[in-house]
Chain A
Amino acid sequence: DQQVKQNSPSLSVQEGRISILNCDYTNSMFDYFLWYKKYPAEGPTFLISISSIKDKNEDGRFTVFLNKSAKHLSLHIVPSQPGDSAVYFCAASEIDNNAGNMLTFGGGTRLMVKP
């Protein structure tokens, strides 16, 4: 039972255009969502996050949108650059003050930005 899904294994965009990466979740208890970028032979790097009390968070070229009713979030990268080529993971967590804040990851989307 995959609670976080990234249905597009890969995405190819032209440099300068917008990249849109999508993520769906099923667990309504998730209240915090994160995007990570991963290059080969490196660990995931935190990009941007959003709390369930918001529907948009922006940081430079990166914007994350959250649609709670649809249990869907997306990451927009504008403009896309060749250095953005990597695997992007969506992750979610639910608050549990008595335990921890484990992250549940999607399977990843490989983004290729062509010069």
Chain B
Amino acid sequence: DAGVTQSPTHLIKTRGQQVTLRCSPKSGHDTVSWYQQALGQGPQFIFQYYEEEERQRGNFPDRFSGHQFPNYSSELNVNALLLGDSALYLCASSPRAVGREQYFGPGTRLTVT
């Protein structure tokens, strides 16, 4: 049973560019959340998707957007990259109707130069 998978593992981008990160949830999970983890800090909630709609959003600018597909996989898009967007981006999945635990993927390390 595959867990949460994310791609790519690492990514280097230049300021002003755009990036797309991808996530496949754990089998049986229909809800996907995205978090940003800066160095030395805890993960910060970006947004959560369920039934292909953004259900909840954290304190992140509109440059951060997402999408969920019918197969429950998800994408995180960041436009007009800033140096401060350099972080580990974590995807987590959960079964909405059952349980409150979220299960995380290995993350994508984004470096903005």
Contacts and interface: CB of A to CB of B under 8 A. Distances in A.
A41 B107 CA distance: 8
A107 to B, nearest CB: 5
Contact of B43 (A44, A45, A96, A100): A44
Interface of B: 4, 31, 33, 35, 40-45, 48, 50, 55-56, 58, 90, 92, 94, 100-107
Q: How large is the interface on A (under 10, 10 to 19, 20 to 34, 35 or more residues)?
A: 20 to 34
Contacts, number: 67
B102 A32 contact: no
Nearest to A9: B40
Interface string A14-32: 0000000000000000001
A44 B104 contact: yes
A42 B44 contact: no
A101 interface: yes
